Amino acid sequence: MSPNVASDRFDRPLKDLRVSVTDRCNFRCVYCMPKEVFNKNYTFLPKAELLSFEEIERVVRAGADLGVTKIRLTGGEPLIRRDLEVLISQIRAVPGITDLSMTTNASLLTRNRARSLRDAGLQRLNVSLDAMDDDTFKAVNDVDVTVQTVLDGIDHAAQANFESVKINMVVKKGLNDHSILPMARFFHGTGHILRFIEFMDVGNSNAWDLSHVTTSQEIADLINANLPIRPAKANYRGEVAKRWEYCDGGGEIGIISSVSDPFCGDCSRARLSATGSIYTCLFASSGYDMRPALRSGDVNAVREALNRLWSIRGDRYSETRTQVSIIRPKVEMSFIGG
């Protein structure tokens, strides 16, 4: 481990950095970028304001010096960012980074793109898919993309030999909770781990309400009644998804209880926005602008700023959201990534 490992006020190390490479997306998922907000009147970031790959690499290098081993590329839709393969190979060359993954809606994941991402050094992929039927999926993405488009992307990823291809399904009650079982049945036995994510109150645009959350327990009970499952051991401390395995050997699923059973105690994640701000919590109202340190061109300055920021971190939003009613502005998920 790095001798300079960063640790926050609750002794949580910094291990994970999520890098948003763009705030733009070709989907308008109703729980993330609803059209009422993200329409032609919405101002996305001008290209000139996005961090360059060199700047992103500098933050990754500083993070690695402080103990970061995992990088996840996200957005917005990361595949919209040009030449992502260049960034991927730059990050892979940073000593200490052992796990490089990306979260994508896979709609732009052609066979060639999957191969070039893999060749550049991307190790794992998480693909978001929220339903198995077009009516529901289109009601979620709101831009008429079909389920088959995403399934093709998943096939391309499988053929490109990523170390793993996981599927993420956000469950919003009344929107797509009827798709839990069809999704479980479809991915059962395929080798792709399906992970169910409770609908979260990220950002200010998605009109979140506790009554729209299908809890982990409800998800597990529903699946268990149809495809029996039993709990499986966590792979490592701080694993976000609770693992379950099918009793018939059909593989495993994961359930992420961000709302009903939060996991802030082990949270070792920081997020870098596309404009160079660091957020120490998904639910933060503001980030810390790294650009002044980045512009100095000196990795030491970036490392010191990151270390200072992490050392005063006391975030545990998910553990407190139900104790007090917190009404404050929060950053949008499409801005800092999931």
Instruction: Name the residues that contact ligand SF4, by CB under 6 A.
Output: 25, 27-29, 32-33, 75-77, 105, 128, 262-264, 267, 269, 281-283, 315-318, 334
Would you say 250 or 338 has its CB closer to ligand SF4?
Answer: 338
Say which entry of ligand SF4, ligand SAM, none residue 200 contacts (CB below 5 to 8 A, set by partner kind): ligand SAM
CB 39 within 8 A of CB 95: no
Say which entry of ligand SF4, ligand SAM, none residue 180 contacts (CB below 5 to 8 A, set by partner kind): none
Q: In the stretch 57-96, what mask flags binding to ligand SAM with x, by CB under 6 A?
A: -----------------xx-x-------------------
CB atoms within 10 A of CB 121: 15
Say which entry of ligand SF4, ligand SAM, none residue 168 contacts (CB below 5 to 8 A, set by partner kind): ligand SAM
Burial (CB count <10 Å: 0-12, 13-18, 19+), residue 171: buried
Would you say 18 or 58 has its CB closer to ligand SAM?
Answer: 18
Residue 148 Cβ, how far from ligand SAM at the closest point, in Å? 17
Q: Is 269 helix (H, G, I), strand (E, B) or coil?
A: strand
Would you say 101 or 103 has its CB closer to ligand SAM?
Answer: 103
* Distance between CA atoms of residues 44 and 22, nearest Å: 9
Would you say 25 or 302 has its CB closer to ligand SAM?
Answer: 25
Question: For 207, what's the count of Cα atoms within 13 Å in the CB-facing half-sphere?
Answer: 8
Closest C-alpha to 20, from 10, 32, 11: 32
Strand ranges for 122-267 from DSSP E: 124-128, 164-171, 194-198, 229-231, 242-246, 252-256
Residues 6+ apart with CB under 8 A from 298: none
Would you say 33 or 331 has its CB closer to ligand SF4?
Answer: 33
CB atoms within 10 A of CB 247: 11
Q: Which of residues 136-195 bind ligand SAM (CB under 6 A)?
A: 168, 170
99-104/288-289 β-pairing: unpaired
Q: Looking at 6, 30, 32, 302, which residue binds ligand SAM (CB under 6 A)?
A: 32
Residue 330 Cβ, how far from ligand SAM at the closest point, in Å? 11
Q: Is position 128 an interface residue for ligand SAM (rule: CB under 6 A)?
A: yes
Helix (H) or strand (E) holding 73: strand 70-74
Residue 286 Cβ, how far from ligand SF4 at the closest point, in Å? 14
Q: What is the length of the chain?
A: 338
Q: Which stretch binds ligand SAM (CB under 6 A): 8-16, 197-205, 237-245, 266-274?
A: 197-205
Residue 298 Cβ, how far from ligand SF4 at the closest point, in Å? 29
Say which entry of ligand SAM, ligand SF4, none residue 282 contacts (CB below 5 to 8 A, set by partner kind): ligand SF4
Residue whose structure tokens are 């499409």: 334
Write out the two tokens for 121. 């050094």
Say which entry of ligand SF4, ligand SAM, none residue 281 contacts (CB below 5 to 8 A, set by partner kind): ligand SF4
Closest C-alpha to 167, from 127, 140, 109: 127
